Amino acid sequence: MDEHEIAWAAGFFEAEGTACSSQRRDRPSRERNMAVYQGGRAAIPEALLRFHGAVGGRGNITGPYRDRLFHWSTKKNAAFDEVMALMWPWLTEWKRGQLRTATVTAGRKMPPACADGADAPPTLRSTQLAWVAGFFDGEGYIGASGAPGRRTIEMSIGQASTDTVPVTLARVAAVLGVGNLRGPRTMANAWSKLPQYVWRANAFGDVQFAVAMLWRWLGPVKRAQAREALLRYQALGRAA
């Protein structure tokens, strides 16, 4: 398996994935469920197909639900453990805790690869960038707007937190080395009542650098958005 694709999958799971345990109706035991969600209508989102391939074809993709949502998921214990072990080295402690809680509450043991002391994060820069690309594919925004002489460009990732800067955003900032961390900010939107933090790059040079660093591992949707934003920003400059 390609460790860069696994690192990408871990970043994508960090952004869009969830794990829990629930009571089974037909027996007293609890079962675990691991899932990754993506919006889509006509076809399975490329990101879900890529995730499915990155974890060795484990799990299944189903949907669309209500004509707008697909998801990859697995409830099989073997697949759950194997996918968890594959992604473990690149996951943050917050997401590891979610997987650990799902496993313990279901009465299962953690795989040896996920035991305490086996969790040193990889230091290879290329896999760190692949993780950031996966996280950005799931949660990132990039766009340019304005008019000639008053143009702006932004590349950002937002996250909610109850106490401090999310470790995911701190990792993005550390790996890319550009942009700033901001927050907390209380949002008026009903979808999130938690304080919001954001990693954001507003300078054209910083955005261009970050895109170049992530390009190899970004999915086609974010590549298209990045290309459009950079070209639009440059076009607004020429029209000034």
Indicate whether 83 belongs to any domain.
yes
**Domain co-membership, 21 together with 102:** yes
Question: Are 215 and 145 in a shared domain?
Answer: yes
Asked whether the beta carbons of 9 and 26 are under 8 A apart, the reply is: no
Q: Are 80 and 133 within one domain?
A: no
Q: Is the pLDDT of residue 76 over 80?
A: yes
The Cα–Cα gap between 87 and 197 comes to 25
Which of the listed residues 114, 144, 159 is the one where a domain comes to its end? 114
- Asked if residue 34 lies in contact with residue 86, where contact means CB atoms within 8 angstroms, the answer is no
Q: Whole domain around residue 144: which residue ranges?
A: 125-238
Output 123 or 67, whichever has higher pLDDT: 67
Residues 216 and 128: their CA atoms lie apart, in Å, by: 12
Give the model confidence (pLDDT) of 27-61 as tens digits. 778 999 999 999 887 899 999 999 999 999 999 99
| Residues 188, 101 within the same domain | no
Instruction: Clarify whether residues 88 and 159 are in a common domain.
Output: no
Residue where one domain finishes, among candidates 92, 114, 136 = 114
Q: What's 178's domain CATH number? A: 3.10.28.10
Model confidence at 240: pLDDT above 60: no
Is 179 among the domain residues? yes
Whether 99 and 184 map to the same domain: the answer is no
Kindly report which listed range (1-10, 30-39, 69-78, 158-167) carries the lowest average pLDDT score.
158-167
Chain position carrying tokens 């290329």: 126
Classified as helix, coil or strand, 29 is coil
End position of a domain, from candidates 88, 114, 140: 114
Residues 35 and 82 in one domain: yes
Q: Does any domain span residue 168?
A: yes
Query: Quick check: is 211 in a domain?
Result: yes
154 shares its domain with 131:
yes
Residues 70 and 95 placed together within one structural domain of the fold: yes
Span 148-166, pLDDT tens digits:
878 999 999 998 887 789 9
Asked if residue 63 is part of any domain, the answer here is yes
pLDDT of residue 56: 97
Domain count along the chain: 2
Is the CB of residue 36 less than 8 Å from the CB of residue 55? Answer: no
Domain check: are 96 and 134 in the same one? no
pLDDT tens-place string over residues 190-215: 555 677 899 999 999 999 999 999 99
Q: Is residue 187 part of a domain?
A: yes
User: Are 195 and 162 spatial neighbours (Cβ–Cβ below 8 Å)?
Assistant: yes
Residue 119 lies in a domain: no
pLDDT digits (tens, 9 = 90+) for 17-32: 999 999 877 777 899 9
In this structure, the answer to whether residues 84 and 104 fall within a common structural domain is yes
Same domain for 10 and 105, yes or no, is yes
Minimal CA–CA distance to 140: which of 193, 190, 199, 217? 199
Q: Which of 6, 79, 15, 19 is nearest to 222 (CA)?
A: 15
Q: Has residue 120 been placed in a domain?
A: no
